[in-house]
Structure 1
Amino acid sequence: MSGRNRSCASASQVCCASSFARQPPRVLIVDVSLPWWSETYSVLCEALENFLSLASSLEGPSRVPLLSLYAVNVQQECLLPFVQVKGNLMRLHSCVEELRSLPVEGCTRPRVELLKQAVLDSLHQYKHYIRHVAPGNNLSSGSVEVTVLSSQPGRAVLRQLEQGLKDSDLVSLRRLVVVHITVERNFPETEPALSPEQCFAEGLDQPEEDMMLGAEIDLQQVENSVVAMENVLKAWLHDQAGEKEHLQLFLPAPGQTPGPSTTPAHRPSPVCIKCDLQERLVSPALLPGTPDLGAKTESVRDFQPHSKSVSNQSSVPQRLQVIKALQAEGLCQSVLYGLPLLIRPTTCWQIDWDEMESNQQTFHALCHTIRTRDWFLLVRSEPQFGSGCSVASYYILQASGSLSLLLKPVLTRELMLPCNLPVSNEDPPLNALTVVESCLDQLEEDPVFNPLCLGSNLYLHLRMRGLLSRPYGSRSQSQGRGQRRDTHHPPEGSTSRQLQKRRARATVAPLPSGPPAKPARPPLTLSRSRPRPPSLCLIDGDNDEEEMAC
């Protein structure tokens, strides 16, 4: 299966049809006033180019449907009118190059009224786009979200924008975000006119009550780095639908164990916890041209060569390079994705017996060492010879209870989405804690998880689907009930000569196609290790699926 087909098939599984249904169009206004622009232009353009390369290549629903970009200095300039982001990388790349080519030398007095005009012009351009460029296009959102990037003090810029926009029509403005890029530079004192504090002195004197807009406003402060700027832009990839909760988690009713004597009328109601779901990463399955070893590791098919003409003997094994040891307690599980693969010592018959025994002993020692030290190993996939510029994949190796390792894909910086969750060091309120503990006390507790106890109704679903997809099944059944088919007559479309050839081929024994079988080897004897913990499986065997559950 080609990489693109795999990506398209996985995209339908990763993204639901209702996901990303309320993504707003985006407007990015960049303050290129000097001398601050000379300190931020390289970082901002690199981060913007990285983000647009990712956003325009994602399969599935569009997360950034439309984008417009303005540059503001001594005048405002629309470098990019509203265009679709998905599949439009060439146009977006030229816009970034045009932004990068703006002058970086000299000094100008910042004019905040131009930022206000850029906001109003973007709203007007959006109305024009809906009315004339895309008439009848049912866009997911009727309002736009404007982000202003500036190295000037963000609080003063926000107050000036509020003061200038308070009497304007902001029905099409969904949210206004001012991002203050901090620049660590001491400008010469010979240029007092360029001081941000003097430029915004009247803005700082405004009372707190005047900071009001009909739309939602936000102020962010980021450092002047590529990673920080990428996080600001990647926040656009999150699902923006907020009309309803994403998930409802039900706990058993507190204080009472349900039994046969409890009537439905007197049965207490369960406790419902409403939750939202947030992605931790951009799934690599949404990206075309994934590497051989993964961009995802969800099945053994991902390890098979793409070309079926390549023989198994000439195929080169994948290479994983161990690059770092990690403490198990220092790895967050949210940075791992995909399904793990089981790694075990090879049993290839072409390897010499002594080499195989030495390999198995080394593998055993590796598993024992990293389990004893409570380590994870960080590994990197080595590119194939002659593959050119290839994408590196990183994985975590974890020792399991059996003589095996689990291979789990791990995130890289390019796929990371911002995640700033608050950490609470205080205990929850006593009344809420009592209710939750009473709910959880009703649950049955198992010391060991056994997936064989779980059923998903899959067999019935497959049977029903198979029957519905074969409309000629009823015809065959009616023939079997009414008149028995004469098995001595050849089927339609086949002659007696063809039938004789089939019978002749069936009576000929097949020739051996593989090498002669080697004599059976005696079983390997390994040194005894410390007692293993109880297994999660009911059956102790060599089946890969059973060991995967362990």
Structure 2
Amino acid sequence: MHRRRTTSRGTSPAMKISHQPLRLLIVHITLPSWADICPNLCEALQNFFSLACSLMGPNRMSLFSLYTVQNQHECVLPFVQVRGNFVRLQACISELRMLQVEGCHRPHHTSLPLAVEDGLQQFKQYSSHLATNAARPCTSLEITVLTSRPGKEVVKELEEGLKDINLLSVRRLQVVEVIKGIQEHTDSPSPIEEPSNDESSILEADIVLETLDNDVVSMEVFFKAWLHNSETDQENIHLFLTPQSLSPSRAEANPICLKCDLQERFLSPSLLPGTADGTSRVDDPKGDISSLYHMASPSSDPPYKLQVIKALRSGGICESLTYGLPFILRPTSCWQLDWDELETNQQHFHALCHCLLKRDWLLLARGEPLIPRHNQNLPACSFCVITPSQSLTLLVKLVATRELMLPGFFPLLSEDPPEDSLKIIESTLDSLELGLTYNPLQVGSHLYSHLSSTHAKPQGRLYTTSWASRGLRKGGQLQTNRARATVVPLPVAPAPGRALKKSTASKASSGTFELPSDSEEEYPSQT
């Protein structure tokens, strides 16, 4: 297997929120655990895509493809655009649900590597098509293998089956083992022996192994990680700690600038249709830190600057003065920085979190607006409060300034309320359930069902031909009369002794790859 250069920083492409990697999901189906996994997986995918297909603003997830591996590998869904394509993705999920009823067989040991190899061929074919048509190139692919088999066995199988395959265009190859709630059904062989330290380091460089609980919420959370900004080309924030009030000589002698990445805490309701805040515009430059996610700035733009003005006691700000969405600051993982600089930056960030917690302090910072360079007008600046946490992160929230404040009079409470009212309210409060913390994963707003209902029903020959025919079954097996493929996958070139793989791949993936758009226009396949 061609190793990806994990120690070099000059080989990875710039990844912006508007240019996310293509994603390939391979569902590794084994009996009898599939009956336990299938309902949760399908519901999680349904919920996730109802959200991902509806998001406005910069495109967080461009193309998606799905394979299943049973007794052989099969491309259930070729690479398709995610945004606005919920009906087609929903039909693909229906295919997975049908597999639960029909049953499946133990996968052949070559089927899983073949699915990876075939998906990689489709990716190369699609990228080649874009290059010949002067479109934006697809530079990287992320592959996720979802399995109930012991993850280390699957990693071994992939390492062996892909050892002669060039994976330089695969940004990440991930094996996710579904573990909770299915152990009693597992009929796999005993776990393999722990690899040596040298072997572990080699495997971790190429294949990431994770575990996942077999429940809907855990799977939803896993898929939602695909919506995060994947840019690693440049840090997002420069946090200047040196006060500007110091003399220039002192400031230059002790400059402290932390390089940070910005992460959303949750999705803005303004990015979704029909929600409470759905009327607000998502393409207006706000001139503050939230602009980093509301517009895709060119890579030549410098990082957003935050200058610390002063420190505050933790109780020194009223929550009613904060507004907008909160964001998370973490030490940058920018690949263009030297390893030593990355390590020093993370250590300084760690020390800042520790000191702020120890002192019980917050930081007040002024933000530099994001404005076009040709604009000579002096822009208004914004201010934010930075709060430490027990993790290696800082919470950033915008705070109001004098210009935004409205007058208000808030009378203080008198010493004691009337006794009758006090008894009534005390009794009412005693009847409430008391929780220690708020867990948003336990609070649902029916948003998934609302978004699913807003998508149009299948229209036209694309859906009626392509997906209605997929429901036809004969003798418990899939029919081969699939819709005509727009793009034929490249032939899988067999290595010595791999003739079986070539014939299997050709049979399993025939007529399944098509151009990821709603167009029916054909173009010649490239061989």
| TM-score, normalised with respect to structure 2 | 0.51
Q: How far apart in 2 are the matches of 1:146 and 1:250?
A: 38
Between the two proteins, what is the percent identity of the paired residues? 38
Deviations 1:130-170 (A, max 9, x none): 22377435446412000011111112211221222122111
**Does residue 233 in structure 1 map to residue 223 in structure 2?**
yes
Q: Which residue of 2 aligns with 1:32?
A: 29
**Does residue 217 in structure 1 map to residue 202 in structure 2?**
no
**Does residue 123 in structure 1 map to residue 120 in structure 2?**
yes
Deviations 1:427-446 (A, max 9, x none): x99999699979x99x9x99
Q: How far apart in 1 are the matches of 2:177 and 2:349?
A: 42
CA-CA distance at 1:547 after TM superposition: 3.7
Q: How far apart in 2 are the matches of 1:143 and 1:81?
A: 16
Does the CA-based 8 Å contact 2:48-2:220 persist in structure 1? yes
Does the CA-based 8 Å contact 1:158-1:178 persist in structure 2? yes
CA-CA distance at 1:30 after TM superposition: 0.4
Deviations 1:92-125 (A, max 9, x none): 1111111111144656334342111100110001
Change (3 A) 1:549 1:119: farther
Q: How far apart in 2 are the matches of 1:434 and 1:247?
A: 15
For residue 258 of structure 1, the aligned residue among 246, 252, 261 is 246
**Does residue 276 in structure 1 map to residue 264 in structure 2?**
no
Q: How far apart in 2 are the matches of 1:132 and 1:457?
A: 36
Q: How far apart in 2 are the matches of 1:42 and 1:275?
A: 39
For residue 76 of structure 1, the aligned residue among 50, 70, 73 is 73
Write the letter of the residue equivalent to 1:91.
R
1:3-402 to structure 2, matched below 5 A, reads: 19-104=16-101, 108-132=105-129, 135-136=132-133, 138-139=135-136, 141-185=138-182, 195-198=187-190, 201=192, 204=193, 207-211=196-200, 212=202, 216-252=206-242, 258-259=246-247, 267-291=252-276, 294=277
Q: How far apart in 1 are the matches of 2:95 and 2:143?
A: 20
Change (3 A) 1:248 1:464: closer
Moved more, 152-161 or 114-123: 152-161
Q: How far apart in 2 are the matches of 1:431 and 1:144?
A: 31
Does the CA-based 8 Å contact 2:25-2:67 persist in structure 1? yes
Write the letter of the residue equivalent to 2:255.
P
Write the letter of the residue equivalent to 1:224.
N
Q: How far apart in 2 are the matches of 1:243 and 1:163?
A: 32
* Structure 2 unaligned spans of 5+: 1-14, 282-317, 331-345, 379-399, 412-527
Q: How far apart in 2 are the matches of 1:115 and 1:54?
A: 29
Provide the secondary structure at the position in 1 that maps to 2:92.
helix
Change (3 A) 1:93 1:267: closer
**Does residue 546 in structure 1 map to residue 376 in structure 2?**
no
Change (3 A) 1:546 1:268: farther
Write the letter of the residue equivalent to 2:198.
E
CA-CA distance at 1:36 after TM superposition: 1.1
Q: How far apart in 1 are the matches of 2:349 and 2:218?
A: 40
Q: How far apart in 1 are the matches of 2:224 and 2:141?
A: 17
Deviations 1:11-35 (A, max 9, x none): xxxxxxx951441000000012221
Q: How far apart in 2 are the matches of 1:236 and 1:85?
A: 12
Change (3 A) 1:435 1:124: closer
Provide the secondary structure at the position in 1 that maps to 2:407.
helix
Does the CA-based 8 Å contact 2:70-2:104 persist in structure 1? no
Write the letter of the residue equivalent to 1:280.
R
Provide the secondary structure at the position in 2 that maps to 1:270.
coil
Provide the secondary structure at the position in 1 that maps to 2:406.
helix
Q: How far apart in 1 are the matches of 2:237 and 2:53?
A: 29
* Structure 1 unaligned spans of 5+: 1-17, 189-193, 299-399, 420-427, 466-535
Does the CA-based 8 Å contact 1:33-1:73 persist in structure 2? yes
Q: How far apart in 2 are the matches of 1:134 and 1:237?
A: 26
Does the CA-based 8 Å contact 1:22-1:140 persist in structure 2? no
Q: How far apart in 1 are the matches of 2:88 and 2:97?
A: 15
Change (3 A) 1:548 1:78: farther
Deviations 1:363-408 (A, max 9, x none): xxxxxxxxxxxxxxxxxxxxxxxxxxxxxxxxxxxxx89xxx8998
Write the letter of the residue equivalent to 1:71.
T
Q: How far apart in 1 are the matches of 2:228 and 2:40?
A: 23
Write the letter of the residue equivalent to 1:131.
S
CA-CA distance at 1:272 after TM superposition: 1.1
Deviations 1:319-338 (A, max 9, x none): xxxxxxxxxxxxxxxxxxxx
Change (3 A) 1:86 1:270: same
CA-CA distance at 1:296 after TM superposition: 8.2
Q: How far apart in 1 are the matches of 2:141 and 2:177?
A: 20
Write the letter of the residue equivalent to 1:282.
L
| TM-score, normalised with respect to structure 1 | 0.49
CA-CA distance at 1:277 after TM superposition: 0.7
CA-CA distance at 1:287 after TM superposition: 0.8
Q: How far apart in 2 are the matches of 1:244 and 1:454?
A: 18
Q: How far apart in 1 are the matches of 2:368 and 2:21?
A: 40
Q: How far apart in 1 are the matches of 2:120 and 2:138?
A: 13
Q: Which residue of 2 aligns with 1:386?
A: none
Change (3 A) 1:95 1:218: same
Where relative contact order (Cα < 8 A, 6+ residues apart) is larger, the structure is 2
Q: How far apart in 2 are the matches of 1:90 and 1:173?
A: 28
Q: How far apart in 1 are the matches of 2:375 and 2:253?
A: 37
Change (3 A) 1:206 1:42: same
Q: How far apart in 2 are the matches of 1:110 and 1:430?
A: 49
Provide the secondary structure at the position in 2 that maps to 1:117.
helix
Write the letter of the residue equivalent to 2:83.
K
Q: Which is higher, the Rg of structure 1 or of structure 2? A: 1
Deviations 1:469-528 (A, max 9, x none): xxxxxxxxxxxxxxxxxxxxxxxxxxxxxxxxxxxxxxxxxxxxxxxxxxxxxxxxxxxx
Change (3 A) 1:112 1:230: farther
Deviations 1:170-210 (A, max 9, x none): 1221101111111434657xxxxx73225x64xx4754534
Provide the secondary structure at the position in 2 that maps to 1:278.
strand
Q: Which residue of 1 aligns with 2:293?
A: none
Provide the secondary structure at the position in 2 that maps to 1:158.
helix
Does the CA-based 8 Å contact 1:24-1:145 persist in structure 2? yes
Does the CA-based 8 Å contact 1:113-1:164 persist in structure 2? yes
RMSD, matched Cα: 5.1
